[in-house]
Structure 1
Amino acid sequence: MKVLVIGLGGVTNGGKTTLAEKLKDMLPNCDIISQDDFFKPESEVETDERGFKLYDVLDALYMDEMVTSIRNWMKSPASSGVVTEEPENTCDNLKNVYILIVEGFLLYNYEPLNELWNRRYFLTLPYEECKRRRSTRVYQPADTPGYFDGHVWPMYLKYKNELEENTSMQVDYLDGTKSQEELLSYLYSDIIQELNKLREENQQVTS
């Protein structure tokens, strides 16, 4: 049994969740873990001097629990409830390969996670488009006036700059203004290449 752990990170409202769900339907033995499921309750999230709840930082998340959940999945993916019906064109050598897509906005700035990824993708958006998309979403708690400019966007830039400065980390940056179809096609093809590498490794081991 082999596992492939895919990170699908990046900007808020970049399309991460939608892409992850569509990829799950297209790929064999695929499951999703969402970083949003690890937010601390509102009462445990810090508030700054402006009254902004600081949700877009690592301290707002139970990151250790997230790492544990991913590691547990990697140990026993078949028992995680993952649907194991493969597409018809799935190669026999890939039947025992399990794929985990982890989607979230802060995936690559927490060191214990960085040893787990097989591939890292990072969706980007320009400021105006990101703000426009954010304004169409309803959050609990709701965004307060000035929250995007005062907290969300600055934190996105901060963590993105950290990634770009870390030249030892391989990250595939994706333009979130492209159509879902184009992004999905690219991601699917790239992940299939990773699966084929695993297939070749399996063949070398068994030959």
Structure 2
Amino acid sequence: MMQSSGVVNTLLIAVSGCSCSGKSTVVKELASFNAHSLMVHQDDYYKPAAPQTADGMENWDAIEALDTVKLLQDVKALIQDPSKSCPACLSANDNEENNQHIVYIEGTMVLDIGKLSELLHTKIFITLSYDECLRRRRQRWKDYIDPPGFFDGCVWPMYMKRETTLLKDLTVKVIDGHQTKEEIVKTFLDVNK
């Protein structure tokens, strides 16, 4: 257990970007480098129902589909005392003091949450082309097919809206999602030296 006299530093890193751009995969890889890493996944914060488009389609890519209040509360709790949720800290073998905790927050919309964005130390946005995003979505979910019009009516327009905004934000580091997982991780590590 971590001793109470130890000073805990918490680094917050958000990884956002296009659907199927490798956000979760990259975060898992990055977290494996530090035993004191924690992950917050946007997918755990969806509300039971999403807002509807003018066509009556549920838009799960709209920020209103997320319980952003709960997500922000959970992140603030991790900032306050990351050791309560850190498996390495809870381990009887962890006697290190002054552990630096890294909290990775990943999802397509995490950089849309203004109050969360203000807390972040690093903001990553992974880009992807239309064709590659569509190809990966079809490959990833072999048993699931987007409802007709969902990709072109919700997924892609919401991504393009985010991309347009975030590419103007100089605090956001942009990474090309067409690279391999290893290349993306290396790029991430290079921009965070």
Structure-1-length-normalised TM-score: 0.80
- Give the match for residue 120 of structure 1: 123
The amino acid that maps onto 2:184 is L
Q: Superposition pairs for residues 130-141 of structure 1, below 5 Å?
A: 130-138=133-141
The amino acid that maps onto 1:54 is N
- Percent identity between the aligned chains? 29
Give per-residue Cα distances to partners, 1:104-135, cap 9 Å, x unaligned: 10122221111111000000001110111111
Aligned-residue Cα RMSD (Å) equals 2.2
Give per-residue Cα distances to partners, 1:64-87, cap 9 Å, x unaligned: 1111100000101011133259xx
The amino acid that maps onto 1:57 is A
Q: Verify the 8 A CA contact 2:21 2:177 in the aligned structure 1.
A: yes
Change (3 A) 1:182 1:98: same
The amino acid that maps onto 2:158 is M
Q: Verify the 8 A CA contact 2:36 2:86 in the aligned structure 1.
A: no
Question: 1:189 Cα shift?
Answer: 4.4
The gaps in structure 2 that reach 5 residues or longer are 1-7, 91-95
The gaps in structure 1 that reach 5 residues or longer are 86-91, 194-207
Aligned with 1:83: secondary structure?
A: helix
The count of corresponding residues between Structure 1 and Structure 2 is: 181
- Give the match for residue 164 of structure 1: 167
Give per-residue Cα distances to partners, 1:24-77, cap 9 Å, x unaligned: 111241110001100011xx2122232321110110000011111000001010
- Give the match for residue 181 of structure 1: 182
Aligned with 1:158: secondary structure?
A: helix
The amino acid that maps onto 1:39 is Y
The amino acid that maps onto 1:38 is Y
Selected match of 2:99 from 87, 96, 106: 96
- Give the match for residue 45 of structure 2: 38
1:109 equivalent in alignment to 2:116: no
1:75 equivalent in alignment to 2:109: no
Change (3 A) 1:20 1:78: same
